[in-house]
Amino acid sequence: MAVDLAPDSDVAALAERTAAFVRDVVIPVEEEHRGVVTSDEVRAELQRAAKEAGVFAPHVSREYGGHGLDMRARAVVFEEAGYSLLGPLALNIAAPDEGNMHLLEAVATVGQREKYLRPLAEGRIRSCFAMTEPAPGAGSDPVALATRATRVDGGWRIDGHKWFITGADGAGFAICMARTSGEPGETGGATMFLVDADNPGMKTVRHIDTLDESLYGGHVELLFENCVVPDGAVLGEVDEGFRYAQVRLGPARMTHCMRWLGIARRAQDIAVARAAERRLFGSRLGELGMVQQMIADNEIDIAASRGLILRACWELDQGRSAAQSTSIAKTFCAEAIWRVVDRAVQICGSLGISGDILLSRFLREVRPFRVYDGPSETHRWSIARRVLRHHDAAVSE
């Protein structure tokens, strides 16, 4: 059976336009702001420029103003957008909005899509996904979910404590995971709720100081206290929240990988340019064997990451759960991308750790990816359990 990894011509053209847009428009803004933007004016200007360039919202269906790309096509375009820390923000494919759009298209009612998805897809509002809780609540183990939603007249009352809620500052709404039945530790009983930002029962506790700073809206601690929402705020069906989470989490892990792979390529390009121009010990830096090994290892990590992403995306596009392939890809990419950026810093030496170029910023931004969306250790545990289950099933047959 023939295997063709080349994207369709229209996808390739969109990727080329995205690469040119990031290079000509986004990177100058990124360098001006040192990779961190907190201004809505700057965000709006970048997104306006992306719309004019015809590269905005590549993942959203055409009904909501996007290009309607499947997962494999997204891999090509998202990588080009991720070549700059601000590229995903400009294209409106940054976390958590991108994952929330994917979820809303798949699960929301027509009315909910008009109220929440359309303005989100157009960049008029932002969003957050409120699932993670302080220990002993939901984190690496989602079934530890402790936030509770209780039925009241005409709706639900949500009470609970959330933290590390990315993008919550300034978000127009939250998708909140709360337990509607069962107890923490039980695998069912979660429900998703759409909570408007002006709901007095959803309160910001603090901004969490973190290693990374480029994700728009920061990482926020939230308190849901007597947060009353109507029945129409239920996203999907009651008690089916964990199932819907899988609709979002697998693809979102892959789009994280796609975006960070773009930064890995950028770091490699910076390092290669430095190795080609820097002279010491009577030759170019790039002619030294140890530097050549780092350059080669970077190329291997980038190519392997891309291959694992495409494999997982192919499975997702086939309608499979892709649980094993997304765990493998996420674990490998998170660690490989870190290695690439770290080697690039080493090749560039004192320049690499200085603020004169953005490599040190990239290093800070990619390190948390080994924790976000499931730590590498949790994914390895899940990967091994699936392998053992498969072995046991084969033996029993």
Q: pLDDT tens digit string along 196-230?
A: 999 999 999 999 999 999 999 999 999 999 999 99
- CA pair distance 176, 224, nearest whole angstrom: 9
Whether 178 and 194 map to the same domain: the answer is yes
Domain match, 14 and 28 both: yes
Q: What is the count of structural domains for the chain?
A: 3
Please report whether residue 26 resides in a domain: yes
Asked if 233 and 198 count as a contact pair (C-beta separation under 8 A), the reply is no
Residue 90 phi, psi dihedral angles, 5° rounding: -65, -40
- Which residues, given as ranges, of the chain have pLDDT below 70? 1-3
214 C-beta neighbours (distance < 10 Å), count: 21
Q: For 320-358, how does the pLDDT look when each residue is reduced to its tens digit (9 = 90+)? A: 999 999 999 999 999 999 999 999 999 999 999 999 999
Name the token pair of 53.
Answer: 């360039």
Q: Which of 93, 94, 83 is nearest to 24 (CA)?
A: 83
**Residue 2 covered by a domain:** no
The domain containing residue 105 runs over which residues?
A: 9-121
Question: Do 193 and 176 meet the contact criterion of CB atoms below 8 Å apart?
Answer: yes
Q: In the prediction, which pLDDT does 2 show?
A: 59
Question: What CATH number should be reported for the domain holding residue 102?
Answer: 1.10.540.10
131 and 29 within one domain: no
Q: What per-residue confidence (pLDDT) applies to 4? A: 76
The pair of three-digit structure tokens given for residue 308, joined into one six-digit string: 């694992």
Q: What is the CATH number of the domain that holds 324?
A: 1.20.140.10
* Contact predicate 208/218, CB 8 Å: yes
Has residue 4 been placed in a domain?
no
SS3 label, residue 201: coil
